[in-house]
Amino acid sequence: MRINFFSLLVVLAMISLTSCGGGNQAVSQNSEPSTIAVNVSQTSPANSSSKPGWTLVWSDEFETNGLPDPTKWAFDTDRNRAGWYNNEKQYYAANRLENSRVENGKLIITARKERLITAADYGGQNYTSARLVTRGLASWTYGFFEIRAKMPCGQGTWPAIWTLGVGGSKGMVWPDDGEIDIMEFVGSKPTEVFATVHTKKYNWQGGTPPASFSASVPDACTAFHNYQLTWTPEKISIGVDDRIYFDYINPKNGDPQAWPFDRPQYLLLNIAIGGDLGGKVDDSIFPVAFQIEHVRVYKN
């Protein structure tokens, strides 16, 4: 029987990591993870709209210019006045073409150096950006997710493709209802992308930190790549361009603190600026754009 080396490493990491504490309740990205690098080919596979053995159930191909499709995407602005988690420095704008627009077949999320002092929920931020979510519009339990994207370059950028649990009648909140970071990127490491899974048992704020792995993508800032999640009842697998570099195995011991991933999650796309992982910001880089060619969700 062939053993998946990285699945073994994840399990060992979960057993051996020590405790850490502190931080915000609903934070999603808080501290720089320990990583193991895996090389990914610079040649991205064809931009195919099919996946053998899977059925496409939701997608956005970004074919209509203007603001993002409001039937598919909402804007998360909840923490603008109070300030965003992880000491992030951005104001997330809603329905503003300067920060999120569809143009020439791409969703373009743009971070800018500017102060929106006239906004009713302005919280003193020196930068604007956008955080798009499918919350309240679409969520999924299990599936294959593919987001084809190109990262923004520059020190201080922190784009992410990720999911969060919808909570539900039991009142579950982060980290109890889980988080899957399909892709995180920081401008200080322009040739790497990161994957992480957060649960109540494994998270940056307490208990045992999550295992987090990286893939080497030398042209992440200059070329589009397919960032992928395969989520089944057995495990979560994350990869780039059909190469898996991270597996999180369901312990199957009935412990929801380790595996809350039998309930729906919704999708998020955003650029954070600075913060605990984004680091020091180079103001000369702005504006910077996170470009997405498609978002596709399949069911087996």
Residues labelled as active-site residues: 179, 184
d(CA 29, CA 192): 16
d(CA 47, CA 170): 40
d(CA 31, CA 204): 7
Query: Strand 212-216 and strand 37-39: pairing?
Result: parallel
Please state the separation of Cα 292 from the chain's center in Å: 13
Please state the separation of Cα 231 from the chain's center in Å: 15
Q: In degrees, to the nearest 5, what angle opens at C-alpha 182 toward C-alphas 45 and 258?
A: 140
Report whether 296 contacts 229 (CB < 8 A): no
Q: In degrees, to the nearest 5, what angle opens at C-alpha 163 toward C-alphas 106 and 172?
A: 150
Report whether 207 contacts 200 (CB < 8 A): yes
Please state the separation of Cα 107 from the chain's center in Å: 15
